């Protein structure tokens, strides 16, 4: 007679999948699969064929893996706004919303992380989604992009594999919202096409300071089509008005504990305060006759077109000016789809884009419970909708009349547009080729653009990338995976590979020189074009106060910074008030134990009586200032508060506690002169904050 434990074991075995090492890969129907890296296409660069049952099954099963949150991009934040073009783009596209500068097109934008669930933190190292729904007069257009201009794979059939690899380990569901684990790096080390996107992931681009300070990209090469039917290849770029700024990894990790909602709170608060974030939409345009003139394939989503080869042409701006009223009804239920296009915008044969055009609709069907999700207010077009689609889950439209075509009982309505010039017409592209599973040779270069990204970085960015690789690979238990990844990095840059190898305890690969020489300065966060206009609007500035502070001095500085648009908060050991040097009470905005330096963009230490430094003895204050300094943030100090900065003992920095007027040195602005802060000091501090970070500093002790 079997025991209860035996019965449980039999039940487990009955539901356990066959041993994956027991035979070849098959479909769900048991059909053996001989190739799963490329979709079936009409020729090497032709479109994906819908008869590819393995591709459709694989993507369908993947799309239906989670109920009800999104499989990827589960954690997000959204806002409404408008888009307006600068001038007519009729030369390149007939899209109505890109024609008249006086017409504002409503939009909804959703920002998101990719790997983690809804309950994960905002500041994880990850790709960020940047999806925009344009409610145009011709129907909804969805530009579904990311904050990286490239993706990890070239063919959508690999998407389930990539996401399975980057998601938490299947045996213990760890880690949440992180890529630092064995399965992701095992996949990366075996799929060199991932390397370009991995370089972006290891850079500070993967930990944005704010959604409002984040670039966006359409990733794929799309096609503009004008009224004459002429096509032009196009890549889309969003550039934030505030400049492109990021956290550093140390900050990002602490933010996850201090404020896991750091980015979504920032977006919400800015819009509520009337500080509406703005982006400029730019395009890179390539005439169709130049399609094959590059040393990479325009259809390859792991490649960029360097701006030095094809400049980005600004065509309009987007402003977000309204927060949603209900997170679930709007931000959670918004449904994007790459195939939601309008006349004048069309697709290319990019195999990743072709897969997304199938996958997004399939995903919404399971996630939103049926085909009627377009009737939800956040998804509803402003253009009239007249179809013969009926019924299904969550049908809310009360239809009348006939539901088929052709018909006579309904007067033939809704009728075909016939020759209506406003109707959508697919671009007439010749397609010819054998049905094959083989990637074009033009997709085979996986290392040169990863090297281009590395070569384009400033020295401090390169150091951050090395540290990121060391952190990520240091979390990988399998040393064979560490070593194999380093070998792939050696094909990008030998120096990078050697530095990473030393940090993760694997042999340095041979050949430590640069493999590729190309660079694109526009990719660096040091690029002038990405810094913004120097404004300090919405920058968070902490003022550290305690009993004995010169309250009059603090008030004057706060008012001056607030006039520039900064958000200034006074922090002290406890909430409530402190007693100023004049005996008056001064209000405290937040208690130090509830915040941290990582939540602010700059710190100011005011003074007290000439012979005292009211906050210098406080270890929490010293840690706050030290962290701000280490993270490259502007530091300002007045009067006796300069002693706090001097106590850090940074070698080679112009910090003197002797009497002097304002001195500014690598983002550290000090002034020991008595009385109120001078206009010179305030301007120097504003300029330092406007530069965001200062990485050319000498180190500090501790």
Domain ranges of the chain: 42-375, 450-524, 534-690
Give me 261's structure tokens: 């909602």
CA neighbor of 471 nearest in space, from 166, 180, 176: 180
Tokens 């809704």 found at = 414
* DSSP letters spanning 561-601: HHHTT-EEEEEESSSEEEE-TTS-EEEESEEGGG--GGG-S
Given the residues 54, 73, 464, 694, the one annotated as active site: 73
Q: What is the Rg, in whole angstroms, of the alpha carbon atoms belonging to the chain? A: 28
Give me 62's structure tokens: 């993947």
512 or 197: which leads in pLDDT: 197
What residues contact 202, with CB distance under 8 A and at least 6 apart? 465, 468, 469, 472
85 or 12: which leads in pLDDT: 85
Residue 358 reports pLDDT greater than 60: yes
Residue 142 has, within 13 A of its CA and on its CB side, a CA count of 22
Report pLDDT digits (tens) over 299-352.
999 999 999 999 999 999 999 999 999 998 899 999 999 999 999 999 999 999
What residues contact 594, with CB distance under 8 A and at least 6 apart? none
Share of the chain above pLDDT 90, in %: 69
> Which helix H or strand E contains 9, and what residues bound it?
helix 4-15
Identify the DSSP state of 331: I
How deeply is 434 buried, as exposed, middle or buried, from its count of CB atoms within 10 A (0-12, 13-18, 19+)? exposed
Please report, in angstroms and rounded to a whole number, the separation of the first and last CA atoms in the chain: 67
What residues contact 412, with CB distance under 8 A and at least 6 apart? 405, 406
Residue 617 reports pLDDT greater than 70: no
CA neighbor of 119 nearest in space, from 76, 78, 183: 76
Is 226 tagged catalytic?
Answer: no
Asked if residue 157 lies in contact with residue 55, where contact means CB atoms within 8 angstroms, the answer is yes
Task: Classify domain 450-524 at the CATH topology level.
Answer: Hemocyanin, N-terminal domain (1.20.1370)
Residue 691 reports pLDDT greater than 80: yes
Which runs of consecutive H residues, i.e. helices, occur in 368-458? Answer: 448-456
CA neighbor of 117 nearest in space, from 174, 195, 162, 78: 174
Question: Strand, coil or helix: what is 218?
Answer: coil
542 or 664: which leads in pLDDT: 542
Region 526-554: mean pLDDT is 91
Asked if residue 132 lies in contact with residue 76, where contact means CB atoms within 8 angstroms, the answer is no
pTM recorded for the entire structure: 0.91
Q: What is the pLDDT of residue 144?
A: 98
CA neighbor of 220 nearest in space, from 268, 154, 171: 154
CA neighbor of 126 nearest in space, from 187, 176, 169, 89: 176
Identify the DSSP state of 620: H
483 or 51: which leads in pLDDT: 483
- Which of 173-187, 269-283, 414-428, 660-674 is predicted least confidently? 414-428
Identify the DSSP state of 332: I
Q: What is the mean pLDDT of the chain?
A: 91
Q: What are phi and psi of 146, to 5 degrees?
A: -135, 175
| CA 4 from centre of chain | 51
655 or 480: which leads in pLDDT: 480
**Max avg pLDDT among 288-292, 393-397, 422-426, 615-619:** 288-292
Q: What is the pLDDT of residue 425?
A: 82
Is 146 tagged catalytic?
Answer: yes
Q: What is the pLDDT of residue 27?
A: 75
Residue 356 reports pLDDT greater than 70: yes
Q: How many CB atoms lie within 10 A of CB 247?
A: 23
Asked if residue 434 lies in contact with residue 454, where contact means CB atoms within 8 angstroms, the answer is no
Tokens 């009804």 found at = 329
Band of residue 34 on the pLDDT scale cut at 50, 70, 90:
confident
Residue 5 reports pLDDT greater than 70: no
Give me 501's structure tokens: 């190898």
Q: How many CB atoms lie within 10 A of CB 346?
A: 19
Q: What is the pLDDT of residue 223?
A: 98
Region 459-469: mean pLDDT is 97
Given the residues 140, 146, 263, 349, the one annotated as active site: 146
CA angle (376, 378, 379) in 5-degree steps: 65
Region 173-193: mean pLDDT is 97
Q: What is the pLDDT of residue 613?
A: 47
Give me 587's structure tokens: 């209000």
Task: Classify domain 534-690 at the CATH topology level.
Answer: Rossmann fold (3.40.50)
Q: How many CB atoms lie within 10 A of CB 497?
A: 26
Residue 642 reports pLDDT greater than 60: yes
**How far is Cα 403 from Cα 389, in angstroms, rounded to an integer?**
7
Residue 123 reports pLDDT greater than 80: yes
Give me 643's structure tokens: 């002693």
Give me 686's structure tokens: 């504003």
Asked if residue 485 lies in contact with residue 188, where contact means CB atoms within 8 angstroms, the answer is yes
Positions of E strands within 304-400: 313-322, 345-346
Q: What is the pLDDT of residue 11?
A: 47
Architecture (CATH level 2) of domain 42-375: Beta Barrel (2.40)
Residue 491 reports pLDDT greater than 60: yes
Report pLDDT digits (tens) over 36-70.
889 989 999 999 988 888 888 888 878 877 657 88
Asked if residue 82 lies in contact with residue 320, where contact means CB atoms within 8 angstroms, the answer is no
């Amino acid at each position: 007679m079997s025991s209860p434990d035996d019965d449980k074991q039999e039940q487990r075995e009955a539901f356990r999948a066959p041993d994956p090492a027991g035979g070849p890969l098959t479909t769900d129907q048991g059909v053996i699969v001989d190739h799963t890296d490329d979709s079936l296409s009409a020729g090497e660069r032709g479109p994906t064929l819908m008869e590819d049952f393995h591709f459709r099954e694989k993507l369908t099963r993947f799309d239906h893996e989670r109920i009800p949150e999104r499989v990827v991009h589960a954690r997000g934040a959204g806002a409404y706004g408008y888009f307006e073009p600068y001038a007519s783009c009729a030369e390149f596209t007939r899209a109505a919303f890109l024609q008249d500068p006086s017409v504002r097109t409503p939009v909804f934008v959703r920002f998101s992380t990719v790997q983690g669930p809804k309950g994960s933190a905002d500041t994880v190292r990850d790709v960020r989604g940047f999806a925009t729904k344009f409610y145009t007069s011709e129907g909804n257009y969805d530009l579904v992009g990311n904050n990286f201009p490239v993706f990890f794979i070239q063919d959508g059939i690999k998407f389930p594999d990539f996401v399975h690899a980057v998601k938490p380990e299947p045996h213990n569901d760890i880690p949440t919202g992180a890529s630092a684990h064995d399965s992701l790096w095992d996949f990366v080390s075996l799929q060199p096409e991932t390397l370009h996107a991995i370089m972006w992931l290891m850079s500070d681009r993967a930990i944005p300071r704010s959604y409002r300070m984040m670039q966006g990209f359409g990733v794929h090469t799309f096609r503009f089509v004008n009224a004459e039917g002429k096509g032009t290849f196009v890549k889309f770029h969003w550039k934030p008005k505030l400049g492109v700024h990021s956290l550093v990894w140390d900050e990002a990790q602490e933010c996850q504990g201090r404020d896991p909602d750091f980015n979504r709170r920032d977006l919400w608060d800015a819009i509520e305060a009337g500080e509406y974030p703005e982006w400029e939409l730019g395009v890179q345009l390539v005439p169709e006759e130049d399609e094959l003139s590059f040393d990479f394939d325009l259809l390859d989503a792991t490649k960029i077109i360097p701006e030095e080869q094809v400049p980005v042409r600004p065509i309009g701006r987007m402003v977000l000016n309204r927060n949603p009223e209900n997170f679930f009804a709007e931000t959670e239920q918004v449904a994007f789809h790459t195939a939601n296009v309008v006349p004048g915008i069309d697709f290319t044969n990019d195999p990743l884009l072709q897969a997304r055009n199938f996958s997004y609709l399939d995903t919404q069907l399971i996630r939103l419970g049926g085909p009627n999700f377009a009737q939800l207010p956040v998804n509803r077009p402003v253009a009239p909708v007249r179809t013969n689609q009926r019924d299904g889950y969550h049908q809310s439209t009360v239809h009348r009349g006939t539901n088929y075509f052709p018909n006579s009982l309904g007067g033939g309505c809704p009728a075909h547009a016939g020759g209506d010039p406003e109707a959508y017409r697919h671009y007439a592209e010749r397609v010819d080729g054998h049905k094959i599973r083989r990637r074009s040779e033009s997709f085979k270069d996986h290392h040169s653009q990863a090297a281009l990204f590395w070569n384009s970085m400033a020295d401090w960015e390169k150091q951050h990338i090395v540290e990121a690789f060391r952190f990520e690979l240091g979390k990988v238990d399998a040393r064979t995976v560490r070593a194999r990844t380093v070998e792939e990095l050696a094909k990008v840059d030998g120096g990078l590979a050697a530095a990473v190898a030393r940090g993760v305890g694997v042999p340095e690969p041979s050949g430590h020189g640069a493999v590729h020489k190309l660079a694109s300065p526009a990719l660096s966060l040091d690029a002038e074009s990405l810094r913004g206009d120097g404004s300090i609007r919405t920058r968070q500035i902490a003022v550290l106060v305690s009993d004995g502070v010169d309250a009059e001095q603090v008030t004057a500085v706060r008012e001056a910074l607030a006039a520039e648009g900064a958000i200034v908060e006074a922090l002290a050991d406890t909430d409530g008030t402190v007693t100023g040097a004049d005996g008056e009470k001064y209000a405290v905005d937040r208690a130090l134990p509830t915040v941290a330096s990582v939540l602010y963009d700059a710190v100011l230490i005011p003074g007290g009586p000439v012979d005292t430094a009211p906050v210098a003895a406080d270890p929490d204050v010293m840690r706050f200032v030290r962290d701000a300094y280490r993270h490259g943030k502007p530091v300002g100090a007045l009067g006796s508060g300069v002693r706090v900065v001097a106590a850090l003992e940074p070698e080679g920095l112009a910090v003197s506690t002797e009497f002097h007027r304002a001195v500014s040195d690598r983002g550290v602005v000090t002034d020991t002169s008595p009385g109120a802060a001078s206009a010179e000091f305030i301007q120097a501090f504003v300029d330092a904050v406007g530069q965001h970070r200062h990485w050319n500093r000498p180190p500090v002790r501790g």
